Amino acid sequence: MIAVDRGRYTCVLDGPDTRVTAMRARELGRKSVVVGDRVSLVGDTSGAPGALARIVRIAERRSVLRRTADDDETTAEGRLERVVVANADQLVIVTALADPPPRTGFVDRCLVAAYDADIEPLLCLTKADLAEPAAILDYYAELDLPYVLVRPDSDLGELRERLAGRVSVLVGHSGVGKSTLVNRLVPEADRAVGTVSAIGRGRHTSTSAVALPLPPASGDTDPGWIVDTPGVRSFGLAHVSAESLLHGFPDLVEGTVDCPPNCEHTAGEAECALDAWVAAGNADPRRLQSYRRLLASRAGETE
């Protein structure tokens, strides 16, 4: 299933590239259907204009990428958990090196979500013609995080190699060049491109997630799929357990070995071993600060 629009689902059949419009069958009950789901169809699956099939079964998902609508309980949506995409292999975190500058807090949230979903993260640094990547790469040096650099004149060959044979979800703040990148990867996608305002915030352009097959390159047997998601201002983690949140910071995990039982690892924990671990140079202090900010946010405190 490649797109959702007002209760209609666009599905692509296995084998020949036949696209079928379908609706969710009543017998599915409250089960939601999301982009990336593999489904069973009945009815008219010809793909002819006006044809409508029914989705009667959703296959077991091998991965589920989730985000909470917002970590702030005071908002109208509260802590509504949303499935972003099912059956993804890779989370491509798109962030600009300048205009707007990179926000490591957002990247940290995405990394936690990726590790929680058991999918691989990839850092895609756009606008590499405007600034050097040294600062952000230094911040993630202990993670051995894979990354690619993208410039307006780059051929995207390295990125295409990392996307080949996979279902990759692209996430990023509006204004970082995600829609431009999607249009370069899939020219017929025609995703709307926004601008960056004077205060460094992009205007939201994409409004719904959609899966797009990558065009085959020479020698490709499976060029892969990308899932373009709407630009987001937050990636809430209220659905992630405290233990899983820690594993989103693998550079800090070993430092908790000497913590007392049931240590919450917050700044108020006098016997938390993480402070000594960082002071000894085993991790970047900014990483510990980010981890504790996310702990506080997950607990409903103001970030």
CB atoms within 10 A of CB 239: 16
Beta bridge partners of 212: 226
Is 110 annotated to bind a ligand? Reply is no
124 is in an annotated binding site: no
CA distance 191 to 31: 29
| Of 30, 31, 27, 38, nearest in space to 1 by CA | 38
Has 259 been labeled as part of a binding site?
yes
Q: Among 161, 164, 216, 207, which residue's Cα sits nearest to residue 186?
A: 216
Q: Is 78 labeled as ligand-binding?
A: no
217 marked among binding-site residues: no
The annotation status of 272 as a binding-site residue, yes or no, is yes
126 belongs to an annotated ligand binding site: yes
Residues 6 or more apart whose Cβ sits within 8 Å of residue 77: 69, 70
Do the annotations mark residue 300 as ligand-binding?
Answer: no
Question: Is 11 annotated for ligand binding?
Answer: no
265 assigned to a ligand binding site: yes
179 is an annotated ligand-binding site residue: yes
Q: Take residue 187 and report the two structure tokens written for it.
A: 């020219």
What is the biggest distance separating any 2 CA atoms in the chain, rounded to whole angstroms? Answer: 67
Interatomic CA distance for residues 69 and 82, integer angstroms: 7
Is 127 assigned a ligand-binding role in the annotation?
Answer: yes
**Cα separation of 72 and 101, whole Å?**
24
Q: If you search the block for the tokens 């025609």, which residue do you land on?
A: 190
With residues binned 3-state (H G I as helix, E B as strand, rest as coil), the percentages for the chain, rounded to 5, are 25, 25, 50
Q: Which residues are annotated as a binding site for GTP?
A: 126-129, 172-180
Binding-site residue positions = 126-129, 172-180, 259, 263, 265, 272
Q: Which residues are annotated as a binding site for Zn(2+)?
A: 259, 263, 265, 272
